[in-house]
Amino acid sequence: MLSKAKKVQDKMKEVQENLKKVEVEGASGGNLVKVVLSGDHEMKSISINPDAKNEKEEILNDLIIAAYNDCRDKLKKKTSEELLKATGGISLPFDFKLPF
């Protein structure tokens, strides 16, 4: 039992390291705003289409937030998929936090 737990722990560390290398893109407003996050939730880039710069500040703020939220949701899904693979299909609690 302990050796199996150790294997899962080692696999989790491996997944965490691999996820740090992952980059996920989110977008909003028909790709007017794009955000890229790394697997450890570091924002790597944000791009704003010149057409979006003509929008009111409030709308542009909403587009940026929506793009970030889209990216964050995609990253959560990717993280869950990788953890599910690593644990051999054992589902972790929805509020399980990785140490990064």
Domain boundaries, the chain: 2-86
Instruction: State the pLDDT confidence band at 98, using cuts at 50, 70 and 90.
Output: low
Residue 94, classified by CB atoms within 10 Å of its CB into exposed (0-12), middle (13-18) or buried (19+), is exposed
Q: What is the pLDDT of residues 77-92, one digit of tens each?
A: 998 888 888 777 666 5
Instruction: Determine the CATH number of domain 2-86.
Output: 3.30.1310.10
Sheet holding 43-48, edge to edge: 23-28, 33-38, 43-48
pLDDT of 4-53, one tens digit each?
A: 777 777 877 888 888 888 999 999 999 999 999 999 899 999 999 999 88
For position 100, what pLDDT does the model report?
Answer: 47
Q: For residue range 2-15, list pLDDT tens digits in order.
A: 677 777 778 778 88
Token pair recorded at residue 65: 């937030």
